[in-house]
Structure 1
Amino acid sequence: MKKNFLIFSLLLILSLIISGCTNSKDSIATISVHPDSEHTNTFKKLNLGELYEFDFKLNNADKTWVNVWIESYKDGKQEPQPLNELSYGLSPNKVEKGNLGFGIINADDSRLGILYAPNITATPQKIEKIHSVGVFSGWDYAIGEDKLELKLGKTYLLGAYRESKGNSIRTYDLQDEKEVKKMIKDDSIIFLLKIKIEKNK
Structure 2
Amino acid sequence: MKRLYWISTFIFLLLISAGCTKDIETPATIAKTPDSDYRNTFEGLNLGMLWDFEFYLPEADKRWVTLWVERYEEGEKESEPVTQLSYGMGPKEVEEGQLGLGIISPHLEEPSVFLYAPGSSQSPRKMTEGFKPEFPSAWGYAIGEEKVELKLGETMVLGGYRQSSTEGSIQVQDFQSKESIEEMIKEDHTMLLLKIKIEERTDAK
Compute the TM-score of the two structures, normalised by the length of structure 2.
0.80
- CA-CA distance at 1:179 after TM superposition: 2.3
1:148 alignment counterpart: 148
Aligned residues: 177
Give how far 1:129 is off.
Answer: 3.1
CA 1:173–1:44: 2 relative to 1, 3 Å: closer
Q: SS where residue 100 of structure 1 aligns?
A: strand
Question: 8 Å contact 2:71–2:192 — kept in the other structure?
Answer: yes
1:101-123 deviation per Cα after TM superposition (whole angstroms, max 9, x unaligned): 11110186520011111111134
Find the aligned partners of 1:145 and 1:55 in 2 and give their Cα distance. Answer: 12
Q: How far apart, in 2, do the equivalents of 1:45 and 1:175 lie?
A: 26
Select between 53-62 and 104-113 the one with higher mean Cα deviation.
Answer: 104-113
Superposed displacement of residue 145, structure 1: 0.8
Higher Cα Rg, which structure: 2
TM-score scaled by length of structure 1: 0.81
Which blocks of at least 5 consecutive residues in structure 2 are unaligned? 1-20
Q: CA, structure 1 residues 86+42, in 2 after alignment: closer, same or farther (shift >3 Å)?
A: same
Q: Report whether the alignment pairs 1:119 with 2:119.
A: yes
Letter aligned with residue 178 of structure 2: E
Aligned structure 1 segments of 4 or more residues deviating by more than 6 angstroms: none
- Structure 1 position 175, deviation (Å): 4.1
Secondary structure at 2:162 match in 1:
strand
Q: Which moved more, 1:166-175 or 1:79-88?
A: 166-175
Compute the RMSD of aligned alpha carbons: 1.8
Tell me if structure 2 keeps the 8 A contact 1:27–1:149. no
Unaligned runs of 5+ in 1: 1-21
Separation in structure 1 between the aligned mates of residue 122 and residue 56 of structure 2, nearest angstrom: 19
Distance in 2, matches of 1:168 and 1:29, equals 38
CA distance in 2, matches of 1:123, 1:79: 22
Could you report, residue by residue, the CA deviation over 1:68-108 in whole angstroms, capped at 9, with x for unpaired residues?
11011111111110001111111111100011111110186
How far, CA to CA, are the matches of 1:86 and 1:130 in structure 2? 22
Other-structure match for 1:196:
197
Is structure 2 residue 93 aligned with structure 1 residue 94? yes
> Percent identity over the alignment?
47
**Matched-pair contact (CA < 8 Å) for 1:160–1:193:** yes
The CA distance in 2 between the partners of 1:106 and 1:176, in whole Å, is 28
Kindly report which structure 2 residues correspond to 1:32-181, keeping only aligned pairs within 5 A, or say none.
32-106=31-105, 109-127=109-127, 128-133=129-134, 135-164=135-164, 165-181=166-182
